[in-house]
Amino acid sequence: MALTNTLVVRFRVYAPDGASQGILPHPLTWEAGVPLNDMPSLTLTYPDGSDAANLLKSPCEIALELRDPNTGTFTEHPGCRFINIRRPLTLAARPR
């Protein structure tokens, strides 16, 4: 029996301790770590100058939501909320 990957995620942006500001479009790359009883981490990559990249230049919270393949609903699970505290870094533009 072949297994099918049914993992579908989306990223929702929130104002710091506030309301939802919408859904981020699909990033070029993303990586999340949600270790049990430890600090989660999230890395997203968007083209510089895109609406998503500009939105992430301000302090915000990002929720990783997982889709239930049976119902199609997205849910934020414990440990899947991330605080954007770092400024973006473009290695190509760094001073020498």
- Tokens matching residue 75: 């849910």
Per-residue model confidence (pLDDT) at position 43: 92
Per-residue model confidence (pLDDT) at position 87: 61
| pTM for this prediction | 0.80
Backbone angles phi, psi at 92, to 5 degrees: -70, -25
54 pLDDT above the threshold of 90: no
Which has the closest alpha carbon to 78: 60, 67, 65, 69?
A: 65
In whole angstroms, what is the distance from residue 85 CA to residue 67 CA? 26
85 pLDDT above the threshold of 80: no
Span 54-80, average pLDDT: 93
- Tokens matching residue 33: 């770590």
Per-residue model confidence (pLDDT) at position 58: 87
Span 19-42, average pLDDT: 92
Span 58-76, average pLDDT: 94
Which has the closest alpha carbon to 34: 4, 66, 71?
A: 66
